[in-house]
Amino acid sequence: RTLREAVFQDLAFTYDLPLKQLSDCLKQYPFVDPAPLDEHLTRMVDPIQEWVAWITRPMWLVEAIHRVGAKVAEHANMTGKVELDLDQFGKFNYPVPIRLRDLQAMVRPFMETKSRHHIHGLDAIIAELVRALLRLYHTVRAWDDTLMDQVKAVAEAEEANDAAEKRIALTNLCATCDMDVFEAAHRLAQVDIAKFALQPGDIEGV
């Protein structure tokens, strides 16, 4: 199973089970206003969906390679390794664990057993929701870290002018983007050789 498939599966699981259970549970209690909770959950899940949509755009790979080429060219007369601004490549930085703590604080008054507003079973639903969102977060982070490592490997190979290492790095990057050989060849053929030194033989090698 690819990281891309794992993210989509975790998203589907989160929507189909704990989020639906939470919504069904809160509807039974008129003293609960679900709007703030819904808004908070939306603010947590939306950045993940937006990141996935950004990374899976057809042109993300081409744009990333162009950025690498521009940075390496800019660094040509400098000493030391080229440093990339990973935020430009879509680095995922949203603090999901902190937002989860905020979520738990929002529902804690309804989980106190001695409270007259206690909601039976809410603690189990919230625990499952937190586990699902953390699993989704860690899957996204794993995919993100792997993508950024591959981008840095492409930059290092380009800076060293090592054709063999560049082919390996590009192959790993395309694989991490979950591309088959045909899509990889199609996307790499769209790379502007004026921005990144990529030859037809490199594409065939990938």
- What is the tens place of the pLDDT at every residue in 78-120? 767 788 888 889 889 999 999 999 999 999 988 887 778 888 8
Q: What is the pTM of this model?
A: 0.83
Q: What are the tens digits of pLDDT across the range 120-171?
A: 889 999 999 999 999 999 999 999 999 999 999 999 999 998 999 999 999 9
Portion of the chain with pLDDT greater than 70, in percent: 98
Distances from the Cα of 189 to the Cα of 25, 54, 66, 183, 201, angstroms = 52, 21, 12, 10, 11
Reported for 134-140, long-range contacts at CB under 8 A and 24+ positions apart, including other chains, are: 134/96, 134/97, 134/100, 135/10, 136/7, 136/10, 136/11, 136/14, 136/48, 137/48, 137/96, 137/97, 139/3, 139/6, 139/7, 139/10, 140/7, 140/48, 140/51, 140/52, 140/92
Question: What's CA 203's distance to the chain center, in Å?
Answer: 26
Sequence-distant (6+) residues with CB within 8 A of 54 are 60, 90
How many CB atoms are located within 10 Å of the residue 124 CB? 13
